[in-house]
Structure formats: structure tokens, C-alpha cells
Amino acid sequence: MGFSYMIIIGVIALFSWMVSSKLKSKFEQYSKISLRNGMSGAEIAEKMLADNGIRDVKVISTPGQLTDHYNPVNKTVNLSEAVYNQRNAAAAAVAAHECGHAVQHAQAYSWLTMRSQMVPVVNISSSLSQWLIMGGLILGIASKGTSIGLYVAVAGLILMAIATAFSFITLPVEYDASNRALAWLKNKNMLGQEEYAGAEDALKWAARTYVVAALGALASLLYWAFQVLGRRE
């Protein structure tokens, strides 16, 4: 199981690197396609929010690259500096995608609601799960004849399972946000044919990064589940 796990993790890591590299090259490519309407990412975002009747969400600039996100707590669409200021197909795609999350929030999209409710637990489980599992395994060896180590390790598995479920719940949230973004860009005739094709392709590759992350989380969960439960006598 250990060798097979290493092969699986290696394949997933390789695939993750390939997807990330492809995503980066796609965004660089589509960043060179200037928008015919001359709108910046910030302006695209503000218009999409307005068209969906959302008046209580602010569009703000945030430092860094690939730091774009929607914050449901303070209702802000946070766009990286490049996306916020630039006027190209890549910026339009990212800005519209993040506004897609704002639309989900406004319409109480069930998957987003579920994901948001899990965030506090996942923040804890992500940092504690492996420590509990490894600690439980060590405790189990040190205290033969008792089940306390098993209980601790299983608690860690439960936390890891929650984090893994979170990764999979993220998938429909991200794909739906992209679908909402692309539908709006098309229906409002915001982009030309080449611009739209670039935005669509960029968002498809962005979504694939979440698929890889979910598969990696599942592989780790199965490995540790075998370590804890598969070796019981």
C-alpha cells in the first residue's frame, strides 16, 4: 500500500504541476488579448454585480498574484492588482468568476452555503488531522493493550475526512461560478468571439486545479485510513 500510495501521490503531484503550469501559460496568453470594450477587471466586476442587482458588495484591489477571491463575510470581491487594473480577456474572466461567487451568495446557492459553514471546522481540521493521526499511531504502539491510540487516530481521520469533503464540495461551487460568469459575459455581449474563447479556456484550466486538489486530498485520506484501520489485528 505504501509503494502504491507513493506512485498515486507522484502522479497527482505531476498532474498538479502540469495543470498549474498550463494555467499560468493560458493566463499569460489571454492577458495579451485586449478587450474591445476597454473595460478593466474592476469595471467588469462592478457591471456584473449591478446587472445582477447586487448593491452591497464592494470590488477592491488586493496585493499579489492569483489572490483573487470573494469574501462572503464582508461582501467584497477581491481582485489581484493585475486583474483589477488590466483590460484583457484573462482579467475579465477572473473578475466575472469572482462575481459569480457574489451572485451565488446573493441567491443562497446551497453548495456555497454548505462550504461557508464548513470553513471554521476545516481551518481547524486541516492543521490538526495529521498530527492526531500520527500521534494516535505512536500512542497505539506505546500503549499496547489499550485502544486510546486508535481513538485518537480515528478522530484525526474524521477531521481529515471533513477537509476532504470540503475539497469536493468546492468543485460545484467553482464550476458554477465560472458558468455564471461565462453566461453573463456572453448574454451581455461583453466580449468578442476571441476574447470569450480565451476567457472560457482560462476558467476551465483554473477549475481543473480544484479537481487535482480534491483528488490529492482523497488519496491522503485513503492512505492514512489504511495506516490506522488496515493494520488492526
Cell 490538526, located at residue: 128
Tell me the sheet residues that pair with 59: 77
Q: Which residues pair with 61 in a beta bridge?
A: 79
Is the sign of the CA dihedral 202, 203, 208, 214 positive or negative?
A: positive
200 is catalytic: no
Active-site entry in 43, 46, 98, 174? 98
Minimal CA–CA distance to 208: which of 67, 12, 63, 5? 12
**CA dihedral over 143, 147, 150, 156, signed as positive or negative:** negative
Helix (H, G, I), strand (E, B) or coil at 92: helix
φ, ψ at 77 (rounded to 5°): -95, 110
Please give the Cα distance from 21 to 137 (Å, whole number): 37
* Other beta carbons less than 10 A from residue 137's beta carbon: 19
Q: Which grid cell sits at 34?
A: 485586449
C-alpha 67/C-alpha 79 separation (Å) is 7
Active site residues: 98
